Structure 1
């Protein structure tokens, strides 16, 4: 198999790829790269990923960026792990459509909570930015809630789509958002936490975060 180096920031959207790597049983070298400490803006990192973001997967020395692309690559590289629906082109496309929406629809909205000044730099605008983000997030979570209706996983069987939406619910709990109206989503979050691959990824990220805080 390819040599994999995985750059992630604890708690960031790279957790989706982190979980996928663990679910696949992939052998990889973890490279904690903490965004809030500016580690994705160093010359060394930008030489690998000029976007200055995570996740970044180095595959045999070649950089691969963006969760949607990385998750697709892992699905095709580790077919036995069944990271995406296989054997049906339409079902795979539907899963990729959902993942793309996570990346382009859900994630950018929730990013406003973490850096409201990046979306509006007018004085005293942060609360308004967050309020609008909360409204848009509620609409997105309602769609996820509907997608999980009567199912344990988004597409019936577990897939990396479930890893991606786990990230958002995790953020919501840390932000203190009201998630009481999304019971299906809440149960999904608890099921995800019981998966050994998720537990391994979370433990590694907690260890990396503790090490970074200690070094600060």
Structure 2
């Protein structure tokens, strides 16, 4: 069923995690591979950030908000709202955003995003320390009874973590926890991941 989805954002950005979600859900969509602050983006989202998902003419911004919307709308990759499982899923999702995504994004800003005179390359040592500590904390919260963060059920938190894991590898931030290395490798082996890369 075509729900009128148009995703705007470059594959090599946080738009990828939304592409991956769309592919896992088996949805039809149009993808506009546009860079942040480009005319294609600012025309629909004045802040110029990607990704943007346009649904029946309405733009939705911020990758995890988009992933949550899609999962809730299609009843997959998530536990139902109001359940304890959903509370745990949301807790893991927010931890990944706060302690992993944010650390990697700060490193990226001080590598190539900020103007050169605003970068602090020395900050990367402390960021790598934070990243290693966050991995230990996350592994302690992973379910013991399944391959995914929540156990046998894959959720958007798994996609988010695996996307951050690929970002970390590219940034040369070591994945120090074997269980996370296995999770990232398993997720990146999924057919939907490869379709999203090709998309």
TM-score (norm 2): 0.86
Counterpart residue number, 2:64:
68
Counterpart residue number, 2:147:
152
Superposed counterparts of 1:182-201, under 5 Å: 182-201=177-196
Where structure 2 has 5 or more consecutive residues not aligned to the other structure, the ranges are: none
Q: 1:103 to 1:121 in 2, by over 3 A?
A: same
Counterpart residue number, 1:55:
51
**1:62 deviation in Å?**
0.5
Q: 1:128 to 1:166 in 2, by over 3 A?
A: same
Work out whether residues 120 and 126 of structure 1, in 8 Å CA contact, stay in contact via their aligned partners in 2.
no
**Deviation digits for residues 70-123 of structure 1, max 9, x if unmatched?**
1121112211xx210237622112212322333343222111222217679768
Superposed counterparts of 1:13-162, under 5 Å: 13-34=14-35, 40-79=36-75, 82-86=76-80, 89-116=83-110, 126-148=120-142, 150=144, 151-156=146-151, 157-162=153-158
User: How many pairs does the alignment contain?
Assistant: 195
Report the more deviating stretch, 160-169 or 99-108. Answer: 99-108
Q: 1:128 to 1:119 in 2, by over 3 A?
A: farther
Counterpart residue number, 1:7:
8
RMSD: 2.3
Work out whether residues 68 and 96 of structure 1, in 8 Å CA contact, stay in contact via their aligned partners in 2.
no
Work out whether residues 41 and 49 of structure 2, in 8 Å CA contact, stay in contact via their aligned partners in 1.
no
CA distance in 1, matches of 2:92, 2:122: 28
Report the more deviating stretch, 169-178 or 93-102. Answer: 93-102
Work out whether residues 143 and 150 of structure 2, in 8 Å CA contact, stay in contact via their aligned partners in 1.
no
4+ runs deviating over 4 angstroms: 117-123
Q: 1:183 to 1:50 in 2, by over 3 A?
A: same
Q: 1:9 to 1:50 in 2, by over 3 A?
A: same
Work out whether residues 6 and 29 of structure 2, in 8 Å CA contact, stay in contact via their aligned partners in 1.
yes
